[in-house]
Structure 1
């Protein structure tokens, strides 16, 4: 047991802390005490091996303690940097003030200490200032990095993740630009090269964005204007034109927000109807009701509108006509080929389709009963047959429907 006492004395020297009685004081993570207990249980062992094992355990404990301390300091610094942006009053959160905060940070310290935490705080607060789609602001955030510090100087450094945390921060900036559809420019490339070099992960991300963004820019056959119109009536016109599926469909505004009405509801009422829908509504039986259903959600980029439809149940005559059309498709195109018939005619089984014909679509500002009554009155002026048809309202909330689906 003599060598065990030597092991313990060496551990005491490693820890550097003893009580008055000479007993070793417990370390923060109890790794040294665990080493003592294992050594006493195993009996005699090589002093050199036990010493090395204890030294490795103690060094690993110090490394973990330093890592925890660094993470706590980083989170504390992130909170402090976020507080700088939160101190700006909501009424003056503009692009100019956001750039002013960035300039104050870059001028405060030439070494840019804490720039990583500051950049993450700036990215989190960009939407509050309304600059989350501004390329100039993103280039200004890249300018916060110190220049020519993180550039790899040899092949080995460029092969591995040189300054990984700073490169992850640069990738985070590009990912946020990608999320909001901001196309980087040549100035962005110059800033990335001056900060990280050409052979770096942020530069790879930049080249991938530059490759894929132009390919997806014109992939939508129904492109939307950029930016979207701020007027809700123009936004409703854009949404209804996309749903009407007819370039000759007639768009009408039955009420505007500044119009005086009997119900005193300050909202807009817009509607769209095609010539075919007017013919279908004129031929609709007078004893079968039509339904006003909604609201349904429609997304236009990052904006959403709610619309209602006027429809009826699927009639028996419509089913027979649809089945005749199905037989024509089978005779002329499929040549008795079951697989080809199902591929060419995916809606052949019309009797399984619960929806009926849609006669009109509307978008209102409030989606209330009064605004829908205004819509029906406007439709009755354009479709006299609707005055003799009973109208049933089947209203529900779009958020409730979304919650039910989830």
Structure 2
């Protein structure tokens, strides 16, 4: 979308304001000047020169929120500020400045995904004043500064995936009329956002939980859906006597992965690799994988079973010598995924505890050498078990000797 660059509102000195007011009063007294007066009024209301406001104008209402910032930043405090502004006096001014200031503080107060708060902010605009009376006024964006302010409010709603309701549509009709630009944007949002709302196969709860354990469960379940037989297990390192980090571990594995671990050669190393990042809405979670290299290339069947242009009739051809088995989803071309996990500290000691937890269901891990490979910085805080090699370079491999040193 192209960015439209519009001029900033120009301020007039007090001396020039007095001159303009004197000229306007003189024009009122002259006969046959209603058309000229209407033209001046239309210029000040519809000109794009006065459409936007600069940062100084937006900062005028910052003082209203300064006192609220010292209190508890929650929805009730934010609504109290709106209530104070609405009931401060009968003749209110600075609606646009107040709305822009409120939009700036919504993220700080945690109300940027609340539809009721958006409606309370929109309700501060006066009703009926900005309604266009002619088609020409409607297409020339009657009161452009106020309409652009409402459009910016709707844009913030769209950025936070907040869908407007019919009540908000009635509010905009009462403020700007049924031919205004904000109403067009609201109806576009109501049409498209409802279509995109349920397209995500991994729907996220709203509001998103702030607990890191719950976020890790959502992330691991999202990754584990590649195999319908995968199960998610939560471990506590307090149950492991050798652990140093007292934290949680969210692990996912499937029966196919357990079979792959059981068939894995004892003289070939497996790797704990990470951290990788996955996003759950606006929150990110670091996770690790237990993988191994592919020992031999897989059989690739590039034939499309639905293609009937080249039918293979086994009666006319020779029998195949071997039967190729299909590989599981965990056996990729470059690597074999044996397990995934997310820990509360993402440290090497917590990953070592994860391997010990997997050994209860996979005894083959007691004899398989495990190597740790970190592709990013890991906050280990020197928490390394006895017999384990210290890692100074994140790209360096550290070998954890099996059975004797892992379980020591």
Q: Which residue of 1 aligns with 2:373?
A: 394
Q: TM-score, normalised by structure 2?
A: 0.70
- Of the three residues 291, 294, 300, the one matched with 1:311 is 291
Q: Which residue of 2 aligns with 1:85?
A: 65
- Of the three residues 135, 150, 156, the one matched with 2:130 is 150
User: Any idea what SS the aligned residue of 2:256 has?
Assistant: helix
For residues 152-172 of structure 1, the C-alpha deviation after alignment (integer angstroms, 9 at most, x for no partner) is: 112221121111111000000
On the 8 A contact 1:269/1:365 being kept in 2, the answer is yes
- Of the three residues 177, 186, 191, the one matched with 1:211 is 191
Mapped pair 1:248 → 2:223: no
Q: Which residue of 2 aligns with 1:121?
A: 101
In structure 2, distance between residues paired with 1:365 and 1:204: 46
For residues 320-362 of structure 1, the C-alpha deviation after alignment (integer angstroms, 9 at most, x for no partner) is: xx23x426x379858679xxxxxxxxxxxxxxx7621000000
| Residue 382 of structure 1: how far off its partner (Å) | 1.2
User: Any idea what SS the aligned residue of 1:382 has?
Assistant: coil
Relative to structure 1, is the Cα distance of residues 290 and 145 closer, same or farther in structure 2, using a 3 angstrom cutoff? same
In structure 1, distance between residues paired with 2:53 and 2:173: 29
In structure 2, distance between residues paired with 1:280 and 1:72: 63
| Residue 199 of structure 1: how far off its partner (Å) | 0.6
| Bigger Rg, structure 1 or 2 | 1
User: Any idea what SS the aligned residue of 1:110 has?
Assistant: coil
In structure 2, distance between residues paired with 1:186 and 1:125: 26
Mapped pair 1:355 → 2:330: no
- Of the three residues 154, 161, 178, the one matched with 1:198 is 178
- Of the three residues 383, 389, 400, the one matched with 2:362 is 383
On the 8 A contact 1:297/1:398 being kept in 2, the answer is no
For residues 363-402 of structure 1, the C-alpha deviation after alignment (integer angstroms, 9 at most, x for no partner) is: 1111101110110101112111111111000013279xxx
On the 8 A contact 2:60/2:97 being kept in 1, the answer is no
Give the stretch that moved more between structures: 232-241 or 98-107.
Answer: 232-241
| Residue 201 of structure 1: how far off its partner (Å) | 0.3
Relative to structure 1, is the Cα distance of residues 91 and 265 closer, same or farther in structure 2, using a 3 angstrom cutoff? farther
Relative to structure 1, is the Cα distance of residues 94 and 75 closer, same or farther in structure 2, using a 3 angstrom cutoff? same
User: Any idea what SS the aligned residue of 2:360 has?
Assistant: helix
In structure 2, distance between residues paired with 1:331 and 1:133: 47
Root mean square deviation of aligned Cα? 2.9
Q: Structure 2 matches for 1:225-244, cutoff 5 A?
A: 225-244=205-224
Relative to structure 1, is the Cα distance of residues 387 and 265 closer, same or farther in structure 2, using a 3 angstrom cutoff? same
User: What is the aligned length?
Assistant: 312
| Residue 229 of structure 1: how far off its partner (Å) | 3.9
User: Any idea what SS the aligned residue of 1:381 has?
Assistant: coil
| Residue 247 of structure 1: how far off its partner (Å) | 2.5
- Of the three residues 246, 254, 258, the one matched with 1:278 is 258
Could you tell me which runs of 5 or more consecutive residues in structure 2 were left unpaired when the two chains were aligned.
Answer: 1-43, 312-331, 379-408
Q: Which residue of 2 aligns with 1:326?
A: 301
Relative to structure 1, is the Cα distance of residues 156 and 193 closer, same or farther in structure 2, using a 3 angstrom cutoff? same
Structure in which a larger fraction of residues adopt helix: 1
